[in-house]
């Protein structure tokens, strides 16, 4: 189910670190950090060229952002474009991926289709931790209440038909 993926990313420390760094991290920085974290889950590291490809930006732009994140102590940037997350970077990256997954799951439950990635990106950078927790709770309710979900689908259909 949808929540199985998000449950493994729960970290209170990530929330705390993000709140501490909220004034330092822009939405773009969060996007970079989340993507580096995603990739590091499988490869253990990220390369500048891979990062620029995944985010559809120039390698020079990716390098500048990686240097900024490195300056904040979130990344360890090695020669030849290899990027490793620091412990703080891992914790914040984990939180960012969890936040993304919670919002995406919620939007799936609502029936958002083709624009789900765009909608998720727009919401995730502007949501409070408190609201995110409430959405996560609602997602868990949806997951454990298939009858409710079916009634909701019927309700949506009835509203479209009128």
User: 42-51 as b/e, with b when 16 or more CB fall inside 10 Å?
Assistant: eeeebbbebb
pLDDT of residue 90: 94
pLDDT of residue 81: 80
Q: pTM of the entire structure?
A: 0.81
CATH number attached to the domain at 2-161: 1.10.10.10
pLDDT of residue 3: 40
pLDDT of residue 112: 94
Give the CA-trace dihedral at 133, 135, 140, 146, to 10 degrees.
170
pLDDT of residue 20: 58
pLDDT of residue 22: 57
H/E stretch holding 24 reads: none
Q: How does pLDDT run along the chain (162 residues), one tens digit per residue?
A: 344 444 444 455 555 555 655 557 899 999 999 999 999 999 999 999 999 999 999 999 999 999 999 999 999 998 778 999 999 999 999 999 999 999 999 999 999 999 999 999 999 998 988 999 999 999 999 999 989 989 988 998 888 876
CA distance 148 to 143: 9
């Amino acid at each position: 189910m949808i929540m199985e993926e998000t449950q493994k990313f729960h970290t209170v420390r990530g929330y705390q670190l993000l709140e501490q760094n909220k004034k330092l991290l822009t939405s773009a920085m969060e996007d970079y950090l989340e993507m580096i974290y995603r990739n590091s889950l499988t490869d253990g590291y990220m390369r500048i060229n891979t990062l620029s490809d995944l985010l559809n930006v120039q390698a020079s732009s990716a390098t500048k952002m990686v240097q900024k994140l490195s300056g904040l102590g979130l990344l360890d940037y090695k020669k030849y474009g290899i990027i490793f997350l620091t412990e703080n970077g891992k914790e914040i990256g984990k939180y960012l991926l969890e936040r993304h997954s919670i919002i995406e799951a919620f939007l799936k439950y609502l029936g958002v289709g083709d624009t789900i990635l765009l909608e998720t990106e727009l919401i995730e950078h502007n949501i409070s931790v408190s609201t995110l927790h409430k959405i996560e709770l609602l997602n868990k309710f949806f997951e454990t209440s298939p009858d409710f979900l079916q009634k909701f689908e019927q309700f949506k259909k009835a509203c479209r038909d009128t």
